Amino acid sequence: MDLLQIEGGHKLSGSVQISGAKNAALPLLALSILSSLPIKISNVPNVADIRTFATLLSNLGATTKFENKTMYLDSTKINSTCANYDIVRKMRASILVLGPLLARFGQCEVSLPGGCAIGQRPIDLHLKALEQMGATIEIKQGYVVAKAQNGLKGATIVFDKITVTGSENIIMAAALAHGTTTLINVAKEPEVVQLCEVLANSGVHIEGIGGDELIIKGSSMKLLPIENIEVIPDRIEAGTYLCAGAITNSQITLTSIIPEHLTAITRKLVKMGFEIEEKKREITLKPAKQIQPFDVETTEYPGFPTDMQAQFMALATQANGTSVIDERLFENRFMHVSELVRMGAKIKLKGHSATVFGRSKLTAAEVMATDLRASSALVLAALVAKGKSRIHRIYHLDRGYEDLEGKLAKLGAKIERLRSES
Ligand code: EPZ
């Protein structure tokens, strides 16, 4: 198993190009199921989750080719409607095939994803919405068995909670349904907006893109002529590199980004004393005279993202004072705390709140990655810890960060990928 070795204490400098967003690319890959034509998706990050999703589609009968960050998909050939446990257990986002498969074929079986490191993560809202659209749903031997023989029907659906993949699943289902679907309290994340824009460009009538309420006119099961797509930049990868610049108090520039998608993150950094310079597709972070502590609460977009909580916790260890971080979306997303403490961080956990007492002199340690974003927090801490840290189980990082060590090394970090003996 690979591990990362990082020697801390080096400033960063220069620029880094941000990849396409994993969480935007995944629903777009699922969307191919609704396409009447082979499709080409560019700016797809070469990360494990994308490769896993492509395998899922090819297990269903699609043909896939991934080269030079471009995914070529022909899902017109799909001849199976079963997403099996072996693949769904590897990646929860596999649930994104549920809405499209059911809408196109009138039936499907998708393994239930189960819990994961960051919390229980139910899919009840996905299922309830599909039932409201006329599907019958049963759970059999760990599978969601969904049927809507004559197709899904438009409905008015109020999401009790904002759910990103839940919204995406139902948006795709509604695009092929009979009649009009109204979605209330829908997610507004840029990744959801891109999915809606692609559908709109393919002739689907959608009102309210980017807002809390969407009205979608379905095609009555007619497949859609989906246009070529370019995936939006990854705002969480970008936020993680901003934190790398911030924790080492360096000047770095990010290119190929959309600054407006990063507002909640850059505002926080400015409050902490960093200077942010924005251009059309670029951001430069400049060092702070003194890093100030902060309070933050994770919430849905356009609020502060839960996917940046762990990275900001690493950053809080270097602030001059006490920061409070409230995690509101996932009940168990503090797995990085005990590993940060092993590196010398002073963090007190109470319920969904973490109090971080800065500034701590971090020291290198052997640490264990537990989920994707928790792992990136350990990388950030290692950049300032005295000595050589080793981060194990980095397959978590490989799920969502493209060439992390290459990009950090280009910025001047002393980072190496090693093979562990065990
Ligand atoms: C998406 O997960 C992202 N994944 C996550 O990215 C991200 O952390 C999360 O949204 C929140 O922003 C992808 O886009 C592939 P949710 P998702 O449904 O859709 C509760 C990363 O590191 N809920 O918006 O699974 C749920 O338990 C990750 O890239 C229900 O109760 O998250 C949570 O508390 C991991 N019932 C809240 O809603 C449901 O049916 C938000 O979850 C669905 C969700």
Our answer on whether the CB atom of 165 is closer than 6 Å to any ligand 1 atom is: yes
In this prediction, residue 58 carries a pLDDT of 97
Mean pLDDT of 18-29: 98
CA dist., res. 22 & res. 278, Å (int):
23
Has residue 114 got a pLDDT over 70?
no
Distance CA 5, CA 379 (A): 9
pLDDT value at residue 422: 58
Read off the pLDDT of residues 45-60 as tens digits, 9 standing for 90 and up.
999 999 999 999 999 9
Of ligand 1's atoms, which has the minimum distance to the CA of residue 118?
A: 35
Q: State how far the Cα of 47 lies from the Cα of 396, in Å rounded to an integer.
A: 10
The length of the chain is: 422
Q: Is 130 exposed, middle or buried (0-12, 13-18, 19+ CB in 10 A)?
A: buried
| Whether residue 241 has pLDDT greater than 90 | yes
* pLDDT score of 162: 97
116 tagged catalytic: yes
Ligand 1 atom with least separation from CA of 168: 19
- What's the gap in Å between 161 CA and the centre of ligand 1? 10
User: What are 277's strand-pairing partners?
Assistant: 284
Q: What is the pLDDT of residues 248-277, one digit of tens each?
A: 999 999 999 999 999 999 999 999 999 999
**Region 39-48 average pLDDT:** 97
Instruction: Establish whether residue 181 lines the binding site of ligand 1, counting it when its CB lies within 6 angstroms of any ligand atom.
Output: no
Give me the percent of the chain exceeding a pLDDT of 70. Answer: 99
Give the residue, by CA position, lying nearest to ligand 1 atom 21: 307
Q: Is 126 in the pocket of ligand 1 (CB under 6 A)?
A: yes
Give tens-digit pLDDT for 307-348.
999 999 999 999 999 999 999 999 889 999 999 999 999 999
128 in ligand 1 pocket by Cβ < 6 Å? Answer: no
- The predicted pLDDT at position 149 comes to 93
| Angle between helix 22-31 and 190-201 (nearest 10) | 30
Instruction: Determine the residue of 165, 192, 327, 402 to mutate for testing ligand 1's pocket, defined as the one with the most ligand atoms within 8 A of the Cβ atom.
Output: 165
Neighbour order of strands in the sheet with 39-42: 63-67, 70-74, 39-42, 229-230
Q: Using the mean position of ligand 1's atoms as its centre, give its distance from the Cα of residue 330 in Å.
A: 8
% of the chain at pLDDT higher than 90: 94
pLDDT at 421 over 80: no
Q: pLDDT per residue over 60-107, tens digit each?
A: 999 999 999 999 999 999 999 999 999 998 899 999 999 999 999 999
Predicted pLDDT of residue 118: 73
Summarize the confidence of residues 109-124 as an average pLDDT: 83
The answer to whether the CB of 94 is under 6 A from ligand 1 is: no
At residue 317, the pLDDT reads 98
**pLDDT, position 115:** 63
Instruction: Specify the pLDDT at position 420.
Output: 67
- What is the pLDDT at residue 251? 98
User: If you measure from the C-alpha of residue 189 to the centroid of ligand 1, how many angstroms do you get, rounded to a whole number?
Assistant: 11
What is the pLDDT, as a whole number, of residue 331? 83
Say if residue 1's pLDDT is above 90.
Answer: no
pLDDT digits (tens, 9 = 90+) for 382-407: 999 999 999 999 999 999 999 999 99
3-state secondary structure 337-387: HHHHHHCCCEEEEECCEEEEECCCCCECCEEECCCHHHHHHHHHHHHHCEC
Pocket test for ligand 1, best of 29, 47, 123, 161 (most atoms within 8 A of CB): 161
Q: In the predicted model, is pLDDT for residue 232 greater than 80? A: yes
Kindly state the average pLDDT of the residues 185-206.
98
CB of 166 closer than 6 angstroms to any ligand 1 atom: yes
Q: For residue 83, how far is its CA from the centre of ligand 1 (angstroms)?
A: 20
